[in-house]
Amino acid sequence: MSDKIAFLGLGNLGTPIAESLLEAGYELVVWNRTASKAEPLTKLGATVVENPIDAITAGGIVFSVLADDAAVEELFSMELVEKLGKDGVHVSMSTISPETSRQLAQVHEWYGAHYVGAPIFARPEAVRAKVGNICLSGNTGAKERIKPIVETFVKGVFDFGDDPGAANVIKLAGNFMIACSLEMMAEAFTMAEKNGISRQSIYEMLTSTLFAAPIFQNYGKLVASNTYEPVAFRFPLGLKDINLTLQTASDVNVPMPFADIIKNRFISGLAKGRENLDWGALALGASDDAGLTK
């Protein structure tokens, strides 16, 4: 508990993670672009700062949970990384491109600091229930230092070696596979529906047998009822992630035909005004194509 931890980014995911760290007894200095979101954490003992650099301790630890590549690159200016300095560790939890992680890692190393890619698989409620899973990659000593800290809020920790971008590759692959699960259920349930079989009954059969995994059981519920509210993960973020996946794959010459279809589902969903739904609404595309939606 000796480390004072900087925590930058208190969105849907950042907030429950920060709360978990505070509850575990860590001393947190928090910052968020919209300061009002940080206020409730003061009751749990957090110190709120107006300027992110003021959260940083030389040689300390900083967590970041931000929206996208641009937000991480903007926040981690050379000035900030320089202050983090020798032996400082940046735990970068945002879903960003592996390439951005590799570039940021170089900047960190220049100043003697370490960048650890640390994306998490967890919806906000999964963080609170401590059933999420985190992937780590980057400097070995830095990973060892932060492991006991992340273990306070996840179920599983998976180490993907030295490459700071590797953990992001796994995160993108996982999100891609979730999106594919949505699309395959959408196509299968729609074929069933137009054969006079209720979406609910095919959902129940398949997710209690061959596909008895949380992804299919939880997202399948949305696809069975074609209901994509309330929002746990915003629709446009789905497009952001699949674009990152396709770029990452293209960078190493890997065609991904399923990812191309998913991308177009998101683009079409935006064209149809679905930007305020959960990203699961990509599954509406199959119903649209079959003439079932208006």
> Looking at 51, 195, 230, 294, which residue binds a second copy (CB under 8 A)?
195
**In this complex, which beta carbon is closest to a second copy, that of residue 91 or of residue 179?**
179
Is residue 149 at the binding interface for a second copy, with CB under 8 A as the rule? no
Among residues 88 and 132, whose Cβ is nearest to a second copy? 132
The rounded distance, in Å, linking the Cα atoms of 123 and 142 is 26
Q: What is the DSSP letter of 37?
A: G
Helix (H, G, I), strand (E, B) or coil at 155: coil
The DSSP 8-state label assigned to residue 277 in this structure reads S
CB 243 within 8 A of CB 270: no
Nearest to 114 by CA among 137, 135, 136, 87: 87
Residue 232 in contact with a second copy, rule: CB under 8 A: no
Q: Does 177 bind a second copy (CB under 8 A)?
A: yes
Check: CB of residue 139 under 8 Å from CB of residue 112. Answer: no
| Residue number, 40 or 214, with CB nearest to a second copy | 214
Show contacts with a second copy in window 97-116 (CB under 8 A). Answer: 98
Residue closer to a second copy, measured from CB, 32 or 181? 181
Q: Which one among 253, 271, 273, 294 touches a second copy, defined by CB under 8 A?
A: 253
Q: Which two tokens stand for residue 88?
A: 């400082």
Is residue 126 involved in binding a second copy (CB under 8 A)? Answer: no
Binding window for a second copy (CB under 8 A); candidates: 152-160, 221-229, 231-239, 272-280: 152-160
Contact stretch for a second copy (CB under 8 A) within 6-14, 71-79, 179-187, 271-279: 179-187
Is 171 annotated in the active site? yes
Separation in Å, CA 234 to CA 37, 67, 212: 19, 11, 25
**Binding of a second copy at residue 279 (CB under 8 A)?**
no
* 8 Å CB contact between 64 and 11: no
Q: What is the dihedral of CA 22, 23, 25, 26, to 10 degrees?
A: -20
Catalytic: which of 83, 171, 240, 263? 171
| Close Cβ partners of 183 (under 8 Å, ≥ 6 residues apart) | 258, 261, 262, 265, 282, 283, 285, 286
Residue 263 or 274: which CB sits closer to a second copy? 263
- Which residue ranges make up the site for a second copy (CB under 8 A)? 98, 121, 133, 135, 156, 158, 160-161, 163, 165-166, 169-170, 172-174, 176-178, 180-181, 183-185, 187-192, 194-197, 201-202, 205-206, 208-216, 245, 248-249, 252-259, 261, 286, 289-291
Q: Which residues belong to the active site? A: 171
